[in-house]
Amino acid sequence: NPSWSTCFTLDYMFEVEQEITIRTYHYHDGSAQEDFGKHTFLGEATFLLASLMVAHDQKMSPKLVSGKATGSLDLRAESHTNTRDLFCAAFQGIRLSNKDGFFGTSDPFLVISRMNEDGQYTVVWKSSKIDNSLNPVWATVKISMNSLCNGDVHRPLKIEIFDWDSNGKHDTMGHVETSVQAMISNPEAQMDVIEPAKVKTKKTYTNSGHLVAGGAHIEHH
C-alpha cells in the first residue's frame, strides 16, 4: 500500500478533454527507472482530469487494469496558489523511542502529510533515513510551500517518524501535529512525539521523544 510524495502540477483547461493514464511498475534493481521494459508492468488507470477536479473532495480511486496486479490508485487534486516560496528547516530527533529491540537501534526517517478538507492526510514529503540513531539530525531541507501546505501557513501538518526496515514494513515511532506557522514561530521548540497506542494503554505516558524543526523559516522568491 505505497504512498508517493511527489506532487505533479498540471495546467487544467476545463474546455479541453484531458485524458491521463498512470502506469505502475514493480521496480527491478540494476536497471534505470525510465527503462520500463526492464520492470514488471503491474497495471494502469486512465481518467479525465475534469472528472477528478469535479469529484467529491476532488478525489477518486480508479482500478488498475491490464497488468499483473489488482487494486486501485487513490488520486487527489487541488488548485494551488501561485507561490515559489520554500519552507526551510533542519529536523532533529531527540531521545526517540527505539523499535529495534535490545540489540539494535532504529533507523528513523520522516514523512510529512498535510490535512485535506475532509480531514484525511496526503503525504507530501519524505526524508532520507538516518542509520542507528535515536537522536538523528537531518540536513537542512527546502520544501515547496505549494507542496507542503498550498501556501497556507496555518494548514495542519502531521510529521510521522518511522523506523526503516528493508522489507518495507516500517515501524511507527510516533508523530507530531503542527503547522508551518507553529514551526517558524518557535523554530527551536521541542515538539512532543506521540504514539497513540501508548496514550491509550499507559496512564503515565507523556511522549516518545521530541522533534525540532531547527532554524525553520520561509525563503521568499
Place of cell 516518545: 208
Contact 157, 111 (CB under 8 A): no
Contact 69, 2 (CB under 8 A): no
Mean pLDDT of 41-64: 91
Q: What is the pTM of this model?
A: 0.77
SS3 98: coil
Average pLDDT of the chain to the nearest whole number: 92
Q: What is the pLDDT of residues 152-211, one digit of tens each?
A: 999 999 999 999 998 888 999 999 999 999 999 999 999 999 999 999 888 899 999 999
**In the chain, % of residues over pLDDT 70:** 100
By CB neighbour count within 10 A (0-12 exposed, 13-18 middle, 19+ buried), where does 183 fall?
Answer: buried
* Three-state helix/strand/coil letters over 17-74: CCEEEEEEEECCCCCCCCCHHHCEEEEEEEEEHHHHHHCHHHEECCECECCCCCCECC
- In this prediction, residue 168 carries a pLDDT of 80
- In this prediction, residue 1 carries a pLDDT of 85
Residue type, 163: D
Q: What is the pLDDT of residues 66-108, one digit of tens each?
A: 988 789 999 988 888 778 899 999 999 999 999 987 788 999 9
Integer distance in angstroms from the first to the last C-alpha of the chain? 36
Between 74 and 3, residue with greater pLDDT: 74
